[in-house]
Amino acid sequence: MTEPHILDDLAWRGLIAQTTDLDALRRDLDAGMVTLYSGIDPTAPSAHIGHLLQWLTLARFQRAGHRPIALVGGATGLIGDPKPTSERTLNDRDVVAGWVDKLGAQLRPFLDFSGGDNAALLVNNLDWTEGLSALDFLRDVGKHFRVGRMLAKEAVSRRMESDEGISYAEFSYQLLQSYDFLELFRRYGCTLQTGGSDQWGNLTAGTDLVHRVEGRSLHALGTPLITKADGTKFGKTESGTVWLDRELTSPYAFYQFWIQAEDAMVGTYLRAFTWLSHDEITELERLTEEMPQAREAQRALARSVTGMVHGEVEVERAEAASRALFGRGELAQLDAGTLAAAIAEIPSYTTARDEKPTIVDLLVGSGLSASRGAARRTVAEGGAYVNNTKVETEDWEPADGDLLHGRWLVLRRGKRNAAGVELAGA
RNA sequence: GGCGGGUUGCCCGAGUGGCCAAAGGGAGCGGACUGUAAAUCCGUCGCGCAAGCUUCCCAGGUUCGAAUCCUGGACCCGCCA
């Protein structure tokens, strides 16, 4: 099968929500190498899977022969993109700078920086805004913006209508981001900006600015906001955002997030987040339709994305742990090595046998329950398990016979949340 | 600068002296069903085994008693200048 055109591939993957001028973009892409960019702001010490989608989109263009620029917003991160809901809290400069470094390191594996005409670039918009004086900024950038249009932007107008309003700083955000596009056009001949469709206002503000200043019509491409089937936020679990940083979201938890994907959306996720071919994905979608309980598509999705972010070794570990914890086999029959490996993947803690912990102690100690009251509730609701056996009473204590290989317990709250406990001391 | 309105639990939002640990909705969590899916139904949802403790922007005060009243402060919004 020959490679489809990059735009056709993106369209097939459901990654094109809106574009400035699709035909013009196609002509430019066909005429030769296009330099494009996508930026993310450092608002946390790690990127999450929404950012991953943007980086993957850049990577898809790069594989099609174009040159990606990954921007990390060291400057824009100091101001804050207006959220429709509320004003952001300003972060300290050195904190933001630290996050810029982390995000930069985190994105490197997804793009090819190793030479060639279309080697990727990593840039920080603080490099060209830090030295800019307020007067220059207002004259060179601000003068080209009409407040009426700025107010019309979705996020701004929503905020204007809210009780909280919007600060001048956040209101100015779109000028900063627009200036990035202008600067990247001048420095690198960058002619396309991609981003989430929630960034559409900022993307077009950029093309407008370049048009005014340079007389060139550049391109913008917005990827759709990925949601769950009911339209609610994607990328959250009980414990919060799904991060790429393994310290914040363990590879096992990352794998579990994907394997729990809804049937109705697993195809969408496969298309957007994996490098699997059209044929492979079509086949997985067919399997989901015909034998959903086999969860082949979810498995392929989890394997693929986890592999991309954390590597194949982590995939193997996560799969092995998942088999052990969710499999049909008795936990007691697992050998010590397999069990230890599985427990290493899930949250776990060690407590002393002398403590005589009850099920409530164990649930709280392992972090599975937020408070003793919550732990009791879980037991009362029938949601507490030790070694896959339901615990019926609050004052249950592990007997020696309950310890797997003489020291471990596998706790579970509900169907999906597992934790390990090691009981130390003879 | 003037005048008016506002700040309640994760979110929205009722509550204007006791019946308020605080209605209702959403989200979340657990169960049933199933497939580590969705939908649906049921339950639950400050901390504590309990007695009780700590909450309704912050600090004081009035009162037997305050989320509710008073004083001061912070922050937000609107209109006018």
pLDDT of residue A241: 81
Q: Which residue is nearest to nucleotide B49 (CA to C1')?
A: A373
CATH of A236-326, one of 3.30.1330.40, 3.40.50.10540, 3.40.50.360, 1.10.240.10: 1.10.240.10
Whole-number Å distance between alpha carbons of A273 and A294: 21
| Angstrom distance, A373 CA to B66 C1' | 29
CB < 7 A contacts with chain B (nucleic strand): A 160, 163-166, 229-230, 232, 237-238, 256, 259-264, 292-293, 295, 298, 322, 326, 370-374, 376-378, 381-383, 413-417
- Asked if this assembly's ipTM is beyond 0.95, the reply is no
pLDDT of residue A150: 84
| All residues at 6 or more sequence positions from A95 whose CB lies less than 8 Å from its CB, including other chains | none
Read off the tokens for A211: 């048009």
| All residues at 6 or more sequence positions from A305 whose CB lies less than 8 Å from its CB, including other chains | A49, A52, A254, A258, A273, A274
pLDDT of residue A147: 84
**A99 contacts A42 by C-beta, under 8 angstroms:** yes
Domain segments of chain A as ranges: 6-223, 236-326, 331-424
Decide if A6-223 and A236-326 have a common fold: no
What is the pLDDT tens value at each position of chain A, 426 positions in all? 467 899 999 999 999 999 999 999 999 999 999 999 999 999 888 999 989 999 999 999 999 999 999 999 999 998 888 877 677 777 888 989 999 999 999 999 999 999 789 999 999 999 999 999 999 999 999 999 988 888 877 777 777 766 667 778 888 888 999 999 999 999 999 999 999 988 888 999 999 999 999 999 999 999 988 877 776 777 777 667 889 999 888 899 999 999 999 999 999 999 999 999 999 999 999 999 999 999 999 999 999 999 999 999 999 999 988 888 887 667 878 888 888 888 988 989 999 988 889 999 999 999 999 999 999 999 999 999 999 889 989 999 999 888 999 889 999 999 889 999 999 875
Read off the tokens for A137: 């900024």
Q: N- to C-terminal Cα distance for chain A?
A: 63
pLDDT of residue A172: 87
| Angstrom distance, A160 CA to B7 C1' | 18
| Angstrom distance, A46 CA to B10 C1' | 23
Select from A180, A173, A168 the least CA-distant residue to A206: A180
CATH of domain A331-424: 3.10.290.10
Whole-number Å distance between alpha carbons of A156 and A161: 9
Whole-number Å distance between alpha carbons of A56 and A67: 13
pLDDT of residue A163: 63
Burial of A238 (0-12, 13-18, 19+ CB in 10 A): exposed
CA max distance for chain A: 78
Whole-number Å distance between alpha carbons of A255 and A198: 27
Select from A269, A260, A296, A240 the least CA-distant residue to A48: A240
pLDDT of residue A188: 97
pLDDT of residue A236: 74
Read off the tokens for A338: 């397999």
pLDDT of residue A43: 86
| Angstrom distance, A275 CA to B30 C1' | 37
Q: Which residue is nearest to nucleotide B42 (CA to C1')?
A: A381
Read off the tokens for A26: 């196609």
Fold of A6-223: Rossmann fold (3.40.50)
Report CA torsion sign: A232, A237, A241, A243.
negative
| Angstrom distance, A375 CA to B28 C1' | 15
